[in-house]
Amino acid sequence: MIDRDSHVTEDELHAYIDGELPADRQEAVSNWLTTHADDAELIAAWRAQAEAIRARYGAVASEPVPERLKLEKLIESSRRGSRSWAAVAAAAAVAAFVFGGATGWVARGASAAAPNSFERFTAEALDAYKLYVVEVRHPVEVPGDERAHMTQWLSKRVGYPLRVPELQSIGLKLVGGRLLPGPTGEAAAFYMYEGSSGERFTIYCARTTSPETALRYRGEARSAAFYWVDNNVAYVVSGPADRDRLQKVTETIYEQMEKDSGRKS
Amino acid sequence: MAGFRQNVEATIPALRRYARALTRDSDAADDLVQDTLVRALRSEHLFHGGDVRSWLYTILTNLNRNRLRSLARRPTLSPIEDNDAPDMAGPEAGGRDIERALATLVEDQRNALLLVVLEGLSYREVAEVQGVPIGTVMSRLARARVQIKAYLDGERPTLRRVK
């Protein structure tokens, strides 16, 4: 009699349907349910919930795994080019060295990988770079001598306050900027700078939902890009395929952006 | 660590299922899985035994938390209910109802419920994934079930706002 009537707790009801109930309580709970209709009803409702959840999503596990999630693919794509796992780690170490002042940078970068976002953003940015950098007469929509107007206009269009870095110290003059469609359909801001020998660098930035990342490099035959995400904005600095020079430029830009966001927070 | 990659590989379908239920969006779900796998591979050398599956669920759960945080910071996003409101009473309501009910849960409760009910993890494993005591997992589970029942019983969430 004691067994049959011993009180059953709500925790035990959950454990019962989740298969977590110790064997020696199984019978007590079963008996309890025959005499407690309200609890039996609860159990039925919870089971129905579980059924509905499994009916809704269970089949996903039987779908063929898409190409991009195949392990060998992920391993291979990480090895291709200069970005092996070791290279990524090395890049993080370089970033730590270069951006030593930015606290938490490496920790954030190491924990947040977003290859899709990286690929999408750098592809867009490099396309824009290649398209506009050859333009002699109309490389930009707003010329660099209207910096204040350009900053205001682009900030309004992208929906967050932009900062247009000052790169005179490394010999680059602002050519100007333009508005572009971003990889996610939102507006992207695009600025161009020019050096004394005519070489051009561009900054492409747009909002992203990707987590913050460490500096990542993407090199192509004639152009290259550095990418990072900070505070929900993805930045891509593109330029000629000279990694050291590009990194120097990126470092200068990053420092100014970081100083600015540091001031705000 | 010879079996490591095989274990990771074997878990991919389940990770996709969990991610789909968390995000309710197949692209976002696969992005999440991809990020999880990239991170797992990168941290392979940091993995010292233990259950690979739980570890992957932990990574995915944490990445999803980051994702939700950055979504929340976006001012342009309108609430889920507004987007979903129009096709409320369709014949497919069964699946959609549970989907909406899950969406009303607090994140930790939703994670706990899905890990137990959909992924078949034990309370102990969920406690490990969420980094909390088993008692906390159980109370999350209990609250999730109460909330879903209230939502489904109430049918119209706008008329019956349940605790």
- Sole residue written with tokens 């900053």: A151
Average pLDDT, stretch A240-244?
A: 87
User: What is the rounded end-to-end Cα distance, in angstroms, of chain B?
Assistant: 48
- Sole residue written with tokens 């680059």: A172
CA distances from A36 to A6, A33, A39, A161, B56 (A): 13, 5, 6, 62, 40
**How does residue B76 score in pLDDT terms, banded at 50, 70 and 90?**
very low
**How does residue A3 score in pLDDT terms, banded at 50, 70 and 90?**
low
For the whole model, what pTM was predicted?
0.54
Query: What is the length of chain A?
Result: 265
Residue from B54, B46, B65 nearest B11 by CA:
B54
CB neighbour burial string for B17-50, b if at least 16 within 10 angstroms, e if fewer: bbbbbbbbeeebbbbbbbbbbbbbbbeeeeeeee
Q: So what's the pLDDT on residue A241?
A: 86
User: Is the CB of A20 inside 8 Å of chain B's CB atoms?
Assistant: yes
Q: Is the pLDDT of residue B21 over 90?
A: yes
Q: So what's the pLDDT on residue A63?
A: 93
Nearest CA in chain A to B44: A85
Task: For residue A49, give both structure tokens.
Answer: 């919930």
DSSP A79-145: HSTT--HHHHHHHHHHHHHHTTTSTTHHHHHHH---HHHHHHHHHHHHHHHHHHHT-SS-S-SEEGG
How close B141 comes to chain A (CA, Å)? Answer: 8
User: Is the CB of A261 inside 8 Å of chain B's CB atoms?
Assistant: no
Q: What is the dihedral of CA B102, B104, B106, B112, to 10 degrees?
A: -10
Q: Is the pLDDT of residue A17 over 90?
A: yes
Nearest CA in chain B to A75: B41
Q: Supply the ipTM of this predicted assembly.
A: 0.84
Nearest Cβ partner for A57 among B17, B41, B138: B17
Asked whether the beta carbons of residue B13 and residue A60 sit closer than 8 angstroms, the reply is yes
For residue range A91-144, list pLDDT tens digits in order. 444 444 444 333 333 333 333 444 478 888 888 899 889 888 877 777 888 888
Nearest Cβ partner for B37 among A52, A54, A74: A74
Asked whether the beta carbons of residue B34 and residue A88 sit closer than 8 angstroms, the reply is no
Q: Is the pLDDT of residue A8 over 70?
A: yes
Q: So what's the pLDDT on residue B29?
A: 94
Nearest CA in chain B to A45: B149
- Sole residue written with tokens 């019956």: B160
Average pLDDT, stretch B101-118?
A: 95
Nearest Cβ partner for A57 among B21, B138, B148: B21
Count how many Cα atoms sit within 13 Å of the Cα of residue A64 in the half-sphere of its side chain.
Answer: 3
Mutant choice from A41, A56, A157 vs B, greatest count of B C-beta within 10 A:
A56
**How does residue A36 score in pLDDT terms, banded at 50, 70 and 90?**
very high
Residue B75, helix vs strand vs coil: coil
Q: Is the pLDDT of residue A265 over 70?
A: no
Q: So what's the pLDDT on residue A6?
A: 75
Q: Please tell me the distance from the alpha carbon of residue A162 to that of residue A6, in angstroms, as a whole number.
A: 67
Q: So what's the pLDDT on residue A205?
A: 92
Contacts of A44 in chain B (CB under 8 A): none
Listed range (A155-164, B78-87, B121-130) with the worst mean pLDDT: B78-87
Residue from B128, B152, B29 nearest A50 by CA:
B152
Which carries the bigger pLDDT value, residue B81 or residue A12? A12
In percent, the amount of chain A with pLDDT more than 90 equals 37
Q: Contact at 8 Å (CB) between A193 and A172?
A: yes
Q: Is the pLDDT of residue B159 over 80?
A: no
Q: In what order do the strands lie in the sheet with A233-240?
A: A142-143, A172-181, A187-195, A200-207, A233-240, A223-230, A213-219
Average pLDDT, stretch B49-75?
A: 82
Q: Is the pLDDT of residue A238 over 80?
A: yes
Q: Is the pLDDT of residue A242 over 90?
A: no
Query: What single-letter DSSP state applies at residue A159?
Result: T
Max Cα-Cα span within chain B: 56
Q: Please tell me the distance from the alpha carbon of residue A178 to that of residue B77, in angstroms, as a whole number.
A: 25
Q: Please tell me the distance from the alpha carbon of residue A182 to that of residue A162, in angstroms, as a whole number.
A: 15
